[in-house]
Amino acid sequence: MLLIRCPYCEEERPELEFRNAGEAHIARSTNIAGESDDDFEKFFFIRSNPKGVIYERWRHIHGCARFFNAVRDTVTDKFVMTYKAGEPKPAKLPGASK
Amino acid sequence: MNAAFRIPGAGRLRQATASFSFDDKSYVGIDGDTLASALLANGVHLVGRSFKYHRPRGFLSAGAEEPNALVQIVRDDARKTPNVRATVQELYDGLTAHSQNRWPSLAFDVGAVNDIASPLFSAGFYYKTFMWPKSAWKNLYEPKIRAAAGLGVSPDRPDPDHYAARYAHCEVLVLGGGAAGIAAALAAAETGVRVILADEQAEFGGSLRFESGAKIEGEDGFAWAQGAIAKLKAMDNVHVLPRTTAFGYYAQNFVGLVERVSDHLKSPGRELARERLWQVRARRVVLATGAIERHMVFADNDRPGIMLASAARTYLNHYGVAVGRNVGVYTANDSAYAAAIDLKKAGVNVAAIVDLRDNPTGPVIDEARALGIEINFGRAVIRAGGKLRVSSMTVQPKNGGGERTIPVDAILMSAGWTPSVHLFSQSRGKVAFNEETRRFVPGTYAQDCVSVGACNGTDGLAATIDEAYAAGAKAAKDAGGRAGKSAKPKVDASESWSRGMLGAAPGAGPDTTVKAFVDFQNDVTAKDIRQAVHEGMHSIEHVKRFTTNGMATDQGKTSNMHGLAIAAETLGKPIPQVGLTTFRAPYTPVTFGSIVGHARGALFDPTRRTAIHPWAAAQGAVFEDVGQWKRAWYFPKAGEDMHAAVDRECVTVRKVAGLFDASTLGKIEVVGPDAAKFMELLYTNPWEKLEPGRCRYGIMLREDGFIYDDGVVGRLAPDRFHVTTTTGGAPRVMHHMEDYLQTEFPHLNVWLTSITEQWAVIAVQGPKSRDIIAPLVEGIDMSDEALPHMSVREGKICGVPTRLFRMSFTGERGFEVNVPADYGEAVWEALWAEGQKHGTCAYGTETMHVLRAEKGYIIVGQDTDGTVTPNDAGLDWAVGKKKTDFVGIRGMARADLVAKGRKQLVGLKTKDPKVVLEEGAQIVDDPKQAIPMKMIGHVTSSYWSENCGRSIALALVAGGRDRMGQTLYVPMPNGTIEVEVTGMVFVDEKGEHLNG
């Protein structure tokens, strides 16, 4: 069971308290009704599924209930860091695998 | 103490005797024995039959790695545990054990014909033989194989035992309680941090239990271990767990342990759990899991009486049991000499030591020679004699030459030691092959753990204790411990050996067809592995699966390295290039009970009951499960079956009125200055202009444009909406709303609160509904003008606050009375009393379903399946045409979702009104087509409607709305049913009843 740090509670808590909510930093267009098919496809269907660092949304559903972002390495399954929803993608990652 | 093979004065057991039975024969053992040592003390070696060839088997080991001696332990009818390793089962007075996989008896087993016919059962036998005809697999091969496979008999009654579970945290978790583990724990404990020390055995000490040459702090090694454990137990910061196996090493130093609490007790009290699952999170883990001795791979090396040298030593030095009177030794390293020496000193005749090595030297060899033991260098045991018990060993120079057969009643063997890297590997650490010592040892670490002692390839007791003590101190310091005073145990004398051999011994080489077992539990021989390679299995993972080497419950603890070496030799590749198969949890088998713990029966899943549940139960309602909820399904009167009850309830509601417990509906309050804006974005409908006091049927989509949920929403105030959701959808709708509010629309000032359990909901539906409610209501004008259909008012009922909705899920005049849940039952009873004056009924979910279907009201999740758009469901009217944004607005416009020919929701009437369609039945437009027919839709809802006097159904049909009046067909096993496509409303098409 993974330990995940909730950036709102500022504590590491067991995975049981959290729920994954898919890839992060995929913004919903403010003019979604006017989006082209291609743009909507990219927004709704296409996900990166990388081998290595992935940016994800998680929710501390059995805790503070907040959504937040996390950087996880899909190879080691380790959480590199977590940060609050709305904050930009971190420019530099602490100790990520190459 | 009269067991024939118990040597007076030997061993450490001095306790009371315990009687036990094996295969219905009574024996006497000693408290502290394992079942294995007790049987051996009585001269019993034959304890089982092998899995495939039904060959007689005895004890290979004295520990958890045992592949052969699997027995069934029977306490009573419900407690029959199969596949218990006799080498780890502690003896208790009255223990009853049976052998497995034999018929009619252990000594004469009919299944042994498989041994004679073994050329038919070589590697890959199943894959090759049971290929055709295809149909025979399901009806013939699989049932037969399943009947023949498996060992032991599982109990046919529910497990009466209970299993405990606990979570624990510590700074240093030490796995393995031999010399290394104890030293590491001592060092860590000194620093004051929390330490857990676990070992699978009843007593700590590990290999010190047989290493007669070990002296620590001036004491016999095993005695020192007991003293150290007593010291650790007395420390507040240390938790010592005997009989506890670390079975799985998971992410971030999360380790699963199972503690066997009461399997060793004569009559465990009910207050004791059988086992306890420990889920431990540790800052640092010290792996001190030791090493496992390997057997020699030679012909008929599986005969009872042939065992690991360290096992024979354990039986002698710890249990005081001689495994024979005239033993032979076959070895490729020094450690077996120590066994020969100990046995010789205890008065057992050692017929000969056969050593594959050419001219080894060393103190143990000198000592053995000094004791007068015959030693044969450069020779191999090419065959064992005997069947139910080994009777001889045939020796030959390893490069060929004259054979000599030596009579023996036991053979002690050692091919060397395999470091137990199982947990290290499970932690995702990478093992590395040491060419010099020819063994895999921990290489690259993936977690905060450290391996010490034999599992790290460290040879010698002094080196082990040095390494372990330093590692324990460092782990504690790294985890925040204070500097402890060093009290490293001093090693006065130790035994040391390494090396050995991997793979088949001479006499079982590629040119032979003998049965030289590599994996005893799955009956895999050296020949099988070579054959697998010859047949094209070049990856060790394929070899493993093709031969099943290492795939039995012992997970190849003794066989993996031999199997790998033989495969590598056959492939002509070095061992590291062939690679090791992956180690998987669990290390040893774990009971389902320990994993399940308390989560079974009534505690498997929470049960949710409404405030009105006790009333319904008292009325004799039949309940159904809806998610975690218990909902009243129907209310049968005396003599009524379900159909009669539902027919009566349906008619009563439309003629008079009915009461329905709708409390399980999900309810969410959406509050805040931007509440209407939020609703606009989350639902297809327009909300800004909905007046406070009015309600609207809302549809929620996912971003893909498909219906996700629906429900009636009341606007209580400009900034306050009372949203209802489907019963099953409440949590996910809340999650969906929170997701958008927190991440996509965080600029909106809105609060969401789940109020499902705060409000009990009593639906009163039917022409008389207003007459029933009105007398109990205060402060609400109930006239049609003041409270029209689809409106909501706050006031009081029976003196308690209410949110009174005028709405209908039946098509009749209807109300949903929301009251605080604590008053739910009382208000229900008041409404019920009022209703009785009119002849009303209580109705359940089945009637609710029929009544809504009569009106064509959909149920999300039944009439929709996650691929249905509002248009498909005929709900275009509920989509705000002028809206520029809501979740799903773009998805809904995708080409495929607006294309012609989509499945649309329609009504179906069977040509024969008495025939009720099956929900889920497929629909075709031409019943004469060849099979497989083209299916154009399926029935989503279907009921007998007493109000219509016929059956009714809803269905999703391709281009359904263009097919009105068409005849379609529903092919069923006993005939094709003709149906007519109709509209979805079967009762009161004009909707006049809503105000009737």
B890 contacts chain A (CB < 8 A): yes
Q: What CATH number is associated with residue B917?
A: 2.40.30.110
Chain A touched by B894 (CB under 8 Å): yes
What is the model's pLDDT at position A78? 87
Q: Does residue B303 surpass a pLDDT of 60?
A: yes
Q: Which residue has the tokens 């306890």?
A: B276
pLDDT at B987: 96
- Interacting residues of B181 by C-beta distance below 8 A, sequence separation 6+: B174, B175, B197, B199, B204, B206, B286, B288, B452, B453, B468
Residue B51 sits in a domain whose CATH number is 3.10.20.440
Residues B350-361, mean pLDDT to the nearest whole number: 96
| Interchain CB distance below 8 Å, A28 and B895 | no
Per-residue pLDDT tens for B51-89? 888 899 999 999 999 999 999 999 998 999 999 999 999
Confidence of residue B156 (pLDDT cuts 50, 70, 90): confident
User: What pLDDT is attached to residue A95?
Assistant: 67
Q: What is the mean pLDDT of residues B698-705?
A: 97
Q: Nearest residue on chain B to A77, judged by CA atoms? A: B251
Nearest chain A residue to B248, by CA: A1
Are B218 and B78 found together in one domain?
A: no
CATH code: domain of residue B531: 1.10.10.1100
What does the pLDDT average to over B961-974? 97
* pLDDT tens digits, one per residue of B642-699: 999 999 999 999 999 999 999 999 999 999 999 999 999 999 999 999 999 999 999 9
Residue B365 lies in a domain: no
Tell me what pLDDT residue B116 has. 76
Q: For residue B600, is pLDDT > 60?
A: yes
Answer whether residue B149 shows pLDDT above 70: no
Residue among B237, B225, B226 nearest B190 (CA) = B237
Q: How confident is the model at residue B457 (pLDDT cuts 50, 70, 90)?
A: very high
- From the list B251, B742, B885, which residue is nearest A32 (CB)? B885
Closest-CA residue of A relative to B895 is A37
Residue B126: predicted pLDDT: 62
Residue B42 included in any domain: yes
Show which of B96, B121, B146 is a domain's final residue.
B121
Which of A1, A30, A35 faces B251 most closely, judged by CB atoms? Answer: A1
> Which residue in B243, B240, B588 sits closest to B426, CA to CA?
B588
State yes or no: pLDDT of B93 exceeds 60. yes
- Residue B750, helix vs strand vs coil: coil
**Res B442 pLDDT > 70:** yes
Instruction: State the CATH number of the domain containing residue B446.
Output: 3.50.50.60
Residue B731's closest chain A neighbor by CA?
A61
Distance from A92 to chain B by nearest Cα, in Å? Answer: 22
Determine, for residues B281 and A3 on separate chains, whether the beta-carbon distance falls below 8 Å.
yes
pLDDT at residue B422 greater than cutoff 70:
yes
Scan residues 5-24 of A and list those with Cβ closer than 8 Å to B. 14, 19, 21
Point out the residue among A33, A61, A65 whose CB comes nearest to the CB of B889.
Answer: A33
For residue B215, the model assigns a pLDDT of 95
Question: Given B254, B742, B889, which is nearest A67 (Cβ)?
Answer: B742
Q: What is the pLDDT of residues B5-58, one digit of tens each?
A: 999 889 999 878 899 999 999 999 999 999 999 999 999 999 999 988 889 999
Average pLDDT over residues B136-143: 67
Both B235 and B96 in one domain: the answer is no
Confidence of residue B186 (pLDDT cuts 50, 70, 90): very high
- Measure CB to CB from residue A33 to each of B251, B279, B885 and give the nearest one: B885
Are residues B456 and B566 located together in one domain of the fold? no
Q: Is residue B906 part of a domain?
A: yes
The verdict on residue B329 lying in a domain is no
The token pair at A72 is 């996880």
Q: Is residue B372 part of a domain?
A: no
Interface test with A, best of B742, B747, B882 (most A CBs within 10 A): B742
Confidence of residue B748 (pLDDT cuts 50, 70, 90): very high
Residue of A nearest to B896 (CA): A37
The one-letter amino acid code at B111 reads: G
- Are B96 and B30 in a shared domain? yes
Q: Report, as an integer, the average pLDDT of B421-441.
A: 94
The 10s digit of each residue's pLDDT in B858-900 is 999 999 999 999 999 999 999 999 999 999 999 999 999 999 9
Tokens of B120: 């038919």
Residue of B251, B446, B890 with shortest CB distance to A33: B890
Give the confidence band of B145 by pLDDT, cuts at 50, 70, 90: low
Name the band, by pLDDT with cuts 50, 70 and 90, for residue A97. very low
In order of their start, the domains of chain A are: 3-84 (3.30.2270.10)
Which class for B1: exposed (0-12), middle (13-18), buried (19 or more C-beta within 10 A)?
exposed
Distances in Å between the Cα of B588 and the Cα atoms of B44, B109, B547, B672 are: 25, 28, 21, 57
Give the mutation candidate from A44, A62, A66 for the B interface (greatest B CB count, under 10 A).
A44
Which of B666-670, B845-849, B992-996 bottoms out in mean pLDDT, i.e. has the lowest? B992-996
Residues B458 and B569 in one domain: no
For residue A16, what pLDDT is reported? 93
**B280 and B184 together in one domain:** yes
The number of domains in chain B is 4
Asked if the model's pLDDT at residue B420 lies above 70, the reply is yes
Distance CA B10, CA B18 (A): 18
- A-B contacts (CB, under 8 Å): 53
Contacts of A89 (CB under 8 A, 6+ apart): A24, A25, A55
Identify the domain boundary among B546, B570, B601.
B601
- B395, part of any domain: no
Does the residue B983 lie in any domain? yes
Question: Cα(B1)–Cα(B14) distance, rounded to whole angstroms?
Answer: 10
Query: Is it the case that residue B551 has pLDDT exceeding 50?
Result: yes
Tokens representing B864? 């929709």
Whether the pLDDT of residue B118 is over 80: the answer is no
In a domain, B176, yes or no: yes
pLDDT band for position B103 (cuts 50, 70, 90): confident
Q: What is the pLDDT of residue B544?
A: 93
Residue that has been written with the tokens 């009910």 in this structure: B270
For residues B974-983, one letter each, b for 16 or more C-beta atoms within 10 angstroms of the residue's C-beta and e for the rest, the string is: eeebebebbe
Same domain as B963, residue B915: yes
Q: What percent of chain B has pLDDT over 70?
A: 96
Q: Which residues of A touch B894 (CB under 8 A)?
A: 37, 40
Taking Cα atoms as reference points, which of B509, B497, B526, B312 lies closest to residue B416?
B497
Residues B485 and B508 in one domain: no
Specify whether B489 is located in the same domain as B515: no
Residue B464 and residue B568 in one domain = no
Domain boundary among B493, B521, B551: B493
8 Å CB contact of A1 and B746: no
What is the complex's ipTM, to 2 decimals?
A: 0.96
B437 and B554 co-located in one domain: no
Q: Are residues B938 and B981 in the same domain?
A: yes
Nearest to A85 among B743, B890, B891 (CB): B743
B704 and A35 within 8 Å at the Cβ level: the answer is no
Using the predicted structure, report yes or no on whether residue B129 has a pLDDT greater than 80: no
The shares of helix, strand and coil residues in chain A, as percent rounded to the nearest 5, are: 15, 35, 50
How far does the CA of residue A28 sit from the closest CA of chain B (Å)?
7
Beta bridge partners of B255: B249, B280
Q: Residues A15-55: pLDDT tens digits? A: 999 999 999 999 999 999 999 999 999 999 999 999 999 99
**Segments forming the whole domain that contains residue B515:** 502-580+587-601
What is the pLDDT confidence band of residue B1, given thresholds at 50, 70 and 90?
very low
Amino acid at B415: A
Task: Tell whether A40 is within 8 A of chain B (Cβ).
Answer: yes
